Amino acid sequence: MQSIQYVLLAVLLLSSTFKNKAVDDKQMKVLFIKGFTSYLEWNPKDVKDALIIGVLGDSYLNADLIAGLDGKKCGQYKVKVKKFANVQSIDECHFLYIPEAKSNKFSEHIDKFAKRPIIIISENAELYKKGANINFRKKNGKLAFDLCKACIESKGIKVSPALVKLAASVK
């Protein structure tokens, strides 16, 4: 519980101290994703060796996710970051980050992931409406996220009440 409080404190402090907006958003998204690993709990049968964070295509976040999370322990899970070239190549992962540039193409396939224990993270409000589970957006000039708690729980993943409190909106 104390590690969750430290992650939350780091996110709050960093959100108010970064001066460079481009660095701020990238680093904040990595910190949020790291925090999500602590606030979500998968069925043990769905996590084998590591919690896999997948990224669809090339994203400005790839290097930061690898540097910040790959091979590290986050919460109760060891994390592995994996890049998927296209939707057809997506196999095992627990988070799937969809960059804005891939949102339209991915929206055609989102139903294929509705019941799989994969958290879909988007940067696109339309993709969130169609079924992404977490959506990054700006709120009062700061990075925030929307959370579809019901969608996540329907996949058999437990959502911490603390994550619900951190979300800008919950459905």
Residues 6+ apart with CB under 8 A from 79: 37, 50, 51, 52, 53, 69, 70, 71, 72, 73
Cβ neighbours, 10 Å, residue 11: 17
| 138 vs 10, more confident | 138
Q: The pTM is what? A: 0.85
166: which strand partners? none
Residue 104 pLDDT: 86
Q: Quick one: how many helices (H) and strands (E) in the chain?
A: 7, 10
The residue among 71, 64, 2, 1 whose CA lies nearest residue 33 is 64
Of 5-9, 70-74, 143-147, highest mean pLDDT: 143-147
Q: How far apart are CA 72 and CA 34, in angstroms?
A: 10
Residue 108 pLDDT: 87
The two three-digit tokens of residue 71, written as one number: 């091979």
- Which tens digits make up the pLDDT trace of 80-116? 999 999 999 998 999 999 999 899 889 888 988 988 9
79: which strand partners? 51
Tell me the mean pLDDT in the region 7-30.
58
In the chain, what are the domains?
Answer: 2-170 (3.40.50.2300)
DSSP secondary structure letters along 35-79: HHHHHEE--GGG-SSSEEEEEES--TTHHHHHHHHTT-EETTEEE
- Which tens digits make up the pLDDT trace of 125-167? 999 999 999 999 999 999 999 999 999 999 999 999 999 999 9
